[in-house]
Amino acid sequence: MHDTFDKTVQDRKETSAGLMQYSAENLVPFGPIHPALKEPEYFKLILEGERIVDVIPRIGYVHRGLEKAAEQRPWIQNIYMFERTCGICSFAHSTAYVQAVEGLLLYKLPERAKFIRLVVAELERIHSHLLWIGLMGHWAGFETLFMWVWKDREIVLDIVEAIAGNRIHKSLATIEGVKRDIPEPLIPGFIERLKYITTRVHYYRNVVDTESTLLIRTEGIGKISADRLEQLCAVGPLVRAAGIPRDVRRDDPYAAYNDVPMDLVTKSGVDIHTLMQQRLDEVVVSVNMIIYALEHMPPGPVKLRVPPVVPKGENASHVEAPRGELFYFVKSNGGRMPERVKVRTPTLANLPSALEMLKGHTLADVPVVLTGIDPCFGCMDRLSFLDRDSQKLWRWSGEELRQYGIHHYFPERKK
């Protein structure tokens, strides 16, 4: 990445002249904000004709200053604030935070609470991965997949609601435990519904492997080598799809991951197609882990009573969120509020890789590749195009770009 940073747009224009049919260089501002989507980000795409030659990121449009706010709130209140960092992997955030605090407190977490944390974390992974598969279908022009997968995702959300009382912000993790127990009579129903999800996922796996609409849009798109991903410190399903067996659940087990069998899914090379296979296979593994955990849940309390102050010290903690390693660092001065809390989300770690994956592809591939790293990406609806030579400016909505992408690959379809 380094070598491309310092080259100016002007340099590129000179080197590219005459190579392409369209040598005019276009700057395409991508983003930043749309209220209906998850995380607004902004990318300046530098194009040569149709090809992307460079991408410049600008994030921070929803930077709400949580790290600063955490320094002015009690330890317990911060759990619920950090949970709201993300609208999808909320439980991963609260777990990572309470784990960092628990490391300073040195109590022994109740066994049953560990299992409940695992169950909810894996349910969250299933719902996040299914959501992503649906979005891939949407951006690739395969609306039916989107509708079907999101219908099946409702099953998981119903289970989460039965356990936590909420669909998304579970407010379940607390320091030294979880706030609610899983009622025993509900467990057989959960298992039955989870088994149904497995059958659905096997069906979708078949669709992903055989459906030509998807294959055209995903095979060979967004390639990046395992070495490059390692250099860029990428995390989560992205590195596992490249064949690097890196997973916090296996390497540095937390909650009950030490007691529940787990198959680590890896693939042999990244493109959008293998990323879809990777995530679908991880859903099956998660279902198996939840069923095992529900069947082997130890009895006992789910929470300890702890004082509201945390001893002086520093601790770092990480969990495997659906998108990859989520890192928390906590520093306490021995008071009622933290001295410092640091959050590093997986999307920030994967962003440099996504920028590399975009290079060399066409504008029509942008939605698919950017969705490929599952970036909580929310900026498709506000983009304008500037042709540098004619100074012509025009705007497309996200829907128009989607239609453009579909038309690029399937010209016979009506625009």
Provide the binding-site residues for another protein, judged by CB under 8 A: 1-2, 5-6, 57-60, 63, 65, 67-69, 72, 103, 230-234, 246, 248, 250-253, 258, 261-264, 288, 313-316, 318, 325, 327, 329, 331, 340, 342, 344, 348-349, 351-352
Closest to another protein by CB, 169 or 359:
359
Beta bridge partners of 326: 319
Smallest distance from another protein to CB 408, Å: 31
Closest to another protein by CB, 251 or 399:
251
User: DSSP letter string over 251-314?
Assistant: HS--TTTTTS--PPP--SSBSHHHHHHHHHHHHHHHHHHHHHHHHTPPPS-SB----S---SEE
E strand residue ranges, 142-273: 173-174, 177-178
32 cis-preceded (ω within 30 degrees of 0): yes
Closest to another protein by CB, 49 or 313:
313
Closest to another protein by CB, 315 or 403:
315
Smallest distance from another protein to CB 139, Å: 24
Closest to another protein by CB, 306 or 316:
316
Give the Cα separation of 326 and 348 in Å (integer).
10
- State the DSSP H helix or E strand holding residue 319, giving kind and residue range, or none if neither: strand 313-321
Smallest distance from another protein to CB 412, Å: 42
Residue 133 tokens, joined: 């598969």
Closest CA to 30 of 415, 409, 382, 392: 382
Smallest distance from another protein to CB 227, Å: 10
Closest to another protein by CB, 154 or 230:
230
Residues near 311 by beta carbon (within 8 Å), at least 6 away in sequence = 104, 105, 332, 334
Closest to another protein by CB, 275 or 285:
285
Smallest distance from another protein to CB 252, Å: 4
Q: Are strands 392-396 and 51-58 parallel, antiparallel or unpaired?
A: unpaired
Smallest distance from another protein to CB 238, Å: 12
Give the Cα separation of 112 and 90 in Å (integer).
21
Smallest distance from another protein to CB 348, Å: 6
Smallest distance from another protein to CB 350, Å: 10
Q: CB burial class (10 A; 0-12, 13-18, 19+) of residue 15? A: exposed
Tell me if 140 sits within 8 A of 410, measured CB to CB: no
Q: How far is CA 373 from CA 158, 357, 383, in A?
A: 26, 10, 20
Closest to another protein by CB, 136 or 310:
310
Smallest distance from another protein to CB 247, Å: 9
Give the Cα separation of 43 and 56 in Å (integer).
6
Print burial letters for 17-30: b (CB count within 10 Å at least 16), e (below 16).
Answer: eeeeeeeebbbbbb
Smallest distance from another protein to CB 299, Å: 22
Give the Cα separation of 154 and 215 in Å (integer).
26
Closest to another protein by CB, 144 or 258:
258
Closest to another protein by CB, 62 or 157:
62
Closest to another protein by CB, 49 or 103:
103
Smallest distance from another protein to CB 34, Å: 18
Q: How far is CA 44 from CA 19, 67, 214, 250, 350, in A?
A: 22, 27, 27, 37, 17
Residue with tokens 């955990």: 293
